[in-house]
Structure 1
């Protein structure tokens, strides 16, 4: 094939980064994030187009439209439609979720192709997929950890202000409003990373051919944690929940994440 492993990884990581920016605009109406996401998505489209054209030229006269080509073409069409919708319409939820589907299909194509390649063993391909999956998951854990720290700061400062206890430590802390914003952006960064990590995990299970792993405790609790953070973002955007209730909600979600990372790993069949 024309493209090398580095191009596969580059496209996936750039695609994931564009989704992070698109999600920021989807939840927080951030036009700068939308422009960044659009620029990265255009770059993904260019790389995908180059990949399609180069391989069509290479297979000239011997082209067979296999499942792999169908998956890549589908992902390319999803990116193309997303760019058109982004240019002429303002349907941010559709653009974001359409690209999540496109990302999943693209990853399935790349790693399915790796497994069928005579130069790459199935184990190597699955290990590369697991590496990207784990990288995104760890990055999401880091973002959620920062969010939990900010929530703890929020609750401490709120209690001190409510009881009118002034201390030197309070002078070195940002305002409640800024802390809440920092918490929101931390979760805004971690959420799409965890979502994409789960998507890649499901693809790994699909390629391995063991559907029972979908009910692994780690997978189930990770999905539940994603739903908890979804509820946080929904309350933050659409409800009138107080800052303290959101902070406690975030700390509760982080507690589940700690259990998932430290305890559930011992019960998981393949995360151990």
Structure 2
């Protein structure tokens, strides 16, 4: 492991996301079309630049850029950016950038702190099983992050509709029903990717250690997180949660995801170093 020449590039991408957040916030509060155009233009720049950065990082180290916590953060930030662009094109959700890019900026900024090229000689980290495990898990976290973003959008629009204060968001967000449906689909997708990541990770653990160390903090907390989302989806079906209740679950669920990641990263020893 060596100091990375990629640090200034990663930091530059974070700065680009900060600029997008600023323009998106200004558009949200003023509704000026020029600010929306500037936001869209910067997103069109950020997507290929970030993708190229991840590609070069992977090619340089000859692996998927998913073998560290910081690399995974950058990949999740990219996927959230991609989803924001996709929803903007498909549903014309202009206010989505205001909710998404502060999270993207923080994620990429934290990724820059630990940005370095990690050279791994072990064939394990270049195996399809390892790549599938880390990619599926990262996609799951990205989906949960976007579910939280959709939940925040729903709750803000719900509050404005209830207060009959439609000055900012009503003409820049889709109907509550569409937000609820997108949130539900995103949660299901996140759960599916997380399930795939856990199953593939279990196979990988048996291959590496000859057993599945269920008492390892990262593996244990991943199982708890999986059960949390299982419980949430079952409760939604049983009690017919409203869009507002589903949004609260999305926000609180992602808060638990972040708390688990911080706990494992900073406080608990784990065999799961990648």
TM-score after normalising by structure 2: 0.51
How much does 1:142 deviate?
A: 1.0
Deviations 1:179-204 (A, max 9, x none): 00000111111111110110111111
* Stretches of 4+ aligned residues off by more than 6 angstroms: none
1:260 paired to 2:260: yes
Contact map agreement 1:136 1:194 (CA 8 A) in 2: yes
Could you tell me which residue of structure 2 aligns to residue 205 of structure 1?
Answer: 205
Equivalent residue pairs, number? 151
What SS does the aligned partner of 1:263 have?
A: helix
List per-residue Cα deviations over 1:46-95 (Å, max 9, x = no partner). Answer: xxxxxxxxxxxxxxxxxxxxxxxxxxxxxxxxxxxxxxxxxxxxxxxxxx
Instruction: Work out whether residues 218 and 271 of structure 1, in 8 Å CA contact, stay in contact via their aligned partners in 2.
Output: no
Contact 1:146 1:186 in 2 (8 A): yes
Q: Classify the secondary structure of the residue corresponding to 1:214.
A: coil
Q: Show the 5 A alignment for 1:1-272.
A: 123-125=122-124, 127-128=126-127, 129-209=129-209, 211=211, 213-266=213-266, 267=268, 268-271=270-273
Q: Unaligned stretches of 5+ in structure 2?
A: 1-120
Distance 1:133 1:212 in 2: 15
Residue 170 of structure 1: SS of its match in structure 2? coil
Measured after TM superposition, the shift of residue 256 of structure 1 is 1.2
For 1:259 and 1:143, locate their aligned partners in 2 and report how far apart those are by CA, in whole Å.
17
User: If the length of structure 1 is used for normalisation, what is the TM-score?
Assistant: 0.51
Match of 2:160, SS? Answer: helix
Tell me, yes or no, if the aligned pair for 1:151 and 1:250 is still in contact at 8 Å.
yes
* Alignment-derived partner of residue 87 in structure 1: none
Structure 1 stretches lacking a partner, 5+ long: 1-121
1:14-63 deviation per Cα after TM superposition (whole angstroms, max 9, x unaligned): xxxxxxxxxxxxxxxxxxxxxxxxxxxxxxxxxxxxxxxxxxxxxxxxxx
- Tell me by how many angstroms 1:157 deviates: 0.9
Counterpart Cα distance in 1 of 2:213 and 2:171: 50
Q: Give the whole-Å Cα distance in 2 for the aligned partners of 1:164 and 1:206.
A: 57
Q: Is the 2:206–2:212 contact (alpha carbons within 8 Å) kept by the matching residues of 1?
A: no
Instruction: Indicate conservation of the 8 Å contact 2:148/2:250, yes or no.
Output: yes
Whole-angstrom CA distance in 2 between matches of 1:135 and 1:269: 19
TM-superposed CA distance for 1:126, in Å, is: 5.8
Of structures 1 and 2, the one scoring higher in RCO (CA 8 A, sep 6+) is: 2
Q: CA RMSD in A?
A: 2.1
The 2-side partners of 1:149 and 1:228 are apart by 19
